[in-house]
């Protein structure tokens, strides 16, 4: 009976350890920490464009470019480190193009390029409270908090166009 009890306790502890993080992509913690300010600026951009505004978008893109330039994929360890290899470079390049955009149509077009590596990172690291939304009309994905769709590619023309494909508010 003591042996069965011990096996039960060890099994329970094993489950707790597994549930405390994402064991598949363990080793990305420092990288993910450095991505948080980039995510914050990205969310500002998406929200502005969804509101049909451009104020602050170029500045946020410049911040993202600078921040991404200071992140190295070598911070990620483990067998899945190669999945993170080009994320900082691709974020920096997308942000640079966005910072050079001259109007809202160009900003929205370049958001697609910035969103691709951001969505890739999110799909692996699963930052808290972040949903990945896909719009087949654009087509493109973006990140946002909350379940109420706010499409940055179309703004008021098609604000609610899109579907949450992953994240805390995705339909299971």
How far is residue 103's CA from residue 117's CA, in Å, rounded to a whole number? Answer: 23
Sign of the CA dihedral running 114, 66, 42, 60: negative
Cα-Cα-Cα-Cα torsion 11, 17, 21, 27, nearest 10 degrees, comes to: -120
**What pLDDT score was predicted for residue 80?**
81
How far is residue 62's CA from residue 97's CA, in Å, rounded to a whole number? Answer: 10
**What pLDDT score was predicted for residue 54?**
97
Domains located in the chain, CATH noted: 26-166 (1.20.120)
**What pLDDT score was predicted for residue 53?**
98
Low-confidence ranges of the chain (pLDDT < 70): 1-26
Percentage with pLDDT > 90 across the chain = 78
**What pLDDT score was predicted for residue 1?**
54
């Amino acid at each position: 009976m003591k042996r069965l009890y011990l096996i039960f306790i060890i099994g329970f502890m094993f489950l707790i350890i597994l549930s405390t993080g994402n064991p598949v992509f363990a080793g990305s913690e420092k990288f993910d920490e450095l991505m948080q300010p980039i995510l914050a600026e990205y969310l500002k951009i998406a929200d502005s464009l969804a509101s049909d505004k451009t104020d602050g978008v170029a500045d946020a893109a410049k911040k993202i470019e600078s921040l991404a330039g200071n992140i190295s994929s070598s911070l990620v360890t483990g067998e899945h480190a190669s999945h993170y290899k080009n994320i900082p470079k691709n974020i920096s390049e997308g942000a640079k193009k966005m910072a050079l955009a001259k109007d809202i149509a160009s900003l929205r077009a370049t958001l697609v390029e910035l969103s691709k590596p951001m969505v890739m990172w999110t799909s692996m690291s699963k930052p808290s409270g972040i949903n990945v939304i896909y719009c087949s009309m654009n087509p493109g994905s973006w990140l946002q908090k909350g379940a109420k769709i706010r499409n940055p590619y179309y703004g008021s023309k098609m604000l609610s166009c899109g579907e949450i494909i992953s994240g805390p508010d995705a339909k299971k």
